[in-house]
Amino acid sequence: MLKRLWGKTCLYSFLIVTGSFIHLSATAQFTKYSNEFLNIGAGARGMSMAGAQVASVSDGTAGYWNPAALANIRDNPQLNLMHAEYYAGVGKYDFANLTLPLKDNKRTIGLTLLRFAVDDIPNTIFLVQPDGTVNFDNITTFSSADYAFIFSLAQRADFGKDKHFNFGANAKIIRRTAGDFASAWGFGFDVAAQLSGNRWKIGALAKDVTTTFNAWSFSLNEQIRQVFYETQNEIPGKSTELTAPQLLLGGSYDFRLTKKLNLLVEADAYVTFDGRRNTVISTNPVSVEPRLGLELSFKDVFFVRGGVNNFQKVLDDRDTLNQKKIWIYQPSVGAGFKVGDVQIDYAFTNLANQSYPLYTHVFSVRVDLRKKEKKK
């Protein structure tokens, strides 16, 4: 009786929160594509499945995709690491997560760190001197880096033998810097739920439910201000950037093809509330993008994955005269294998879209940190 009451309470709370932020999104003013580095993805498995993860995710990357799913990690801690490079190594993206089940095996906490950075950017502000001459010795370099620290908490409730309801939340701290010129602190929260049966799962993630804000401050000395003024560039001041709430809904089913071969299928809907976007469903302010992912596994040791997302309607390059538009999409593929307590995954995915392809290789590793058994 108490378990049913807890489950209903969590579900009603989730629905109230998501309903509230949908109303808020329709009335507030937001910065479009704010904190976009938080939408790249996490883990080669999830990225190879085109981000269709909100229902089926079951490892430490759930701290990013769906914190409620962290409750599925029980008994032993888990470590997840990922590295990817974009723009021929110019941009670097890293993910690290440590998941720690608590002693009661019903609650789990997760610690996640994300970093996306472009290093060694040339600073040419003082390249041209006041007399008009060029001095290359005045060129310095700086980094533009985005960081996110996420603290996750998940709770598990069991309903019978094969049914489970998980409820979770994220607290996010964001730090963004552009050399010594500009910096921002941001804060936000996510709430999530996951309902699972024998071979099916349903997941939901409400991101930035209270809106996530970044408070920007700028540090420009008089010399830099003078250069900005002479080159007719706007001198920035303090500002606040608001990130609109987002909603991810998904469902998955694990088909048992043979005794050794399984096929996991997941379909997600990525819902945004910051105005009309070029997506399959595009209205103002709500837009919806579908995500589809597949994972074929052999003995839960070898994995082959694929997925599609980022459906967009663009002009057909082959028929520009008639301004004909066609649908394009972003495919992703990947693979993985597991040896003992270590799993290594790989993804080949496109950060941009089919019109401007920007494919990159993503590698991640998962380690189950099993506790040593005490000798009798």
Could you tell me the pLDDT band of residue 215, with boundaries at 50, 70 and 90?
confident
Per-residue pLDDT at 16 exceeds 70? no
pLDDT averaged over every residue in the chain: 83
Per-residue pLDDT at 224 exceeds 60? yes
Q: Between these two residues, 42 and 129, which has the higher pLDDT value? A: 42
Average pLDDT over residues 356-371: 85
Average pLDDT over residues 333-348: 95
Per-residue pLDDT at 33 exceeds 80? no
Lowest mean pLDDT among 124-128, 203-207, 289-293: 124-128
CA angle at 132 for the pair 126 and 136, rounded to the nearest 5°? 45
Average pLDDT over residues 191-197: 94
Amino acid at 4: R
How many percent of the chain have pLDDT more than 70? 82
Could you tell me the pLDDT band of residue 303, with boundaries at 50, 70 and 90?
very high
pLDDT of residue 23: 44
Q: What is the spatial distance between Cα 79 and Cα 342, in angstroms, rounded to a whole number?
A: 10
Distances (CA, A) of 239 to 31, 59, 180, 236, 264: 11, 37, 17, 8, 45
Q: What is the spatial distance between Cα 335 and Cα 345, in angstroms, rounded to a whole number?
A: 6
- Three-state secondary structure readout of the chain: CHHHHHHHHHHHHHHHHHHHHHHHHHHCCCCCCCCHHHHCCCCHHHHHCCCCCCCCCCCCCHHHHCHHHHHHCCCCCEEEEEEEEECCCCEEEEEEEEEEECCCCCEEEEEEEEEEEEEEEEECCCCECCCCCECHHHCEEEEEEEEEEEEEEEEEEEECCCEEEEEEEEEEEEEEEECCCEEEEEEEEEEEEEEECCCEEEEEEEECCCCEEEEEEECCCHHHHHHHHHCCCCCCCCEEEEECCEEEEEEEEEEECCCCEEEEEEEEEEEECCCCCCCCEECCCCEEEEEEEEEEEECCCEEEEEEEEEEEEEECHHHCCCCCEEEEEEEEEEEEEEECCEEEEEEEEECCCCCCCCEEEEEEEEEECCCCCCCC
Q: 310: buried, middle or exposed (CB in 10 Å: 19+, 13-18, 0-12)?
A: buried
CA angle at 9 for the pair 6 and 15, rounded to the nearest 5°? 140
pLDDT of residue 9: 40
Domain boundaries of the chain, sorted by first residue: 2-368
pLDDT of residue 191: 95
pLDDT of residue 185: 92
Per-residue pLDDT at 236 exceeds 90? no
Per-residue pLDDT at 5 exceeds 50? no
Q: What is the spatial distance between Cα 208 and Cα 222, in angstroms, rounded to a whole number?
A: 37
Could you tell me the pLDDT band of residue 13, with boundaries at 50, 70 and 90?
very low
Q: Give the position of tokens 């919806």.
A: 288
Lowest mean pLDDT among 15-19, 232-236, 352-356: 15-19
CB 39 within 8 A of CB 272: no
Lowest mean pLDDT among 99-108, 137-146, 187-196, 351-360: 351-360
Q: 179: buried, middle or exposed (CB in 10 Å: 19+, 13-18, 0-12)?
A: middle
Q: Between these two residues, 218 and 270, which has the higher pLDDT value? A: 270
pLDDT of residue 10: 45
Q: Give the position of tokens 């996510």.
A: 190
pLDDT of residue 132: 73
pLDDT of residue 356: 60
pLDDT of residue 260: 93
Max mean pLDDT range (40-44, 177-181, 367-371): 40-44
Across-strand partners of 83? 94, 363
Max mean pLDDT range (45-54, 159-168, 231-240, 309-318): 45-54
Considering the domain 2-368 in this protein, what is its CATH number? 2.40.160.40
Q: Between these two residues, 374 and 172, which has the higher pLDDT value? A: 172
Max mean pLDDT range (8-22, 61-75, 314-328): 61-75
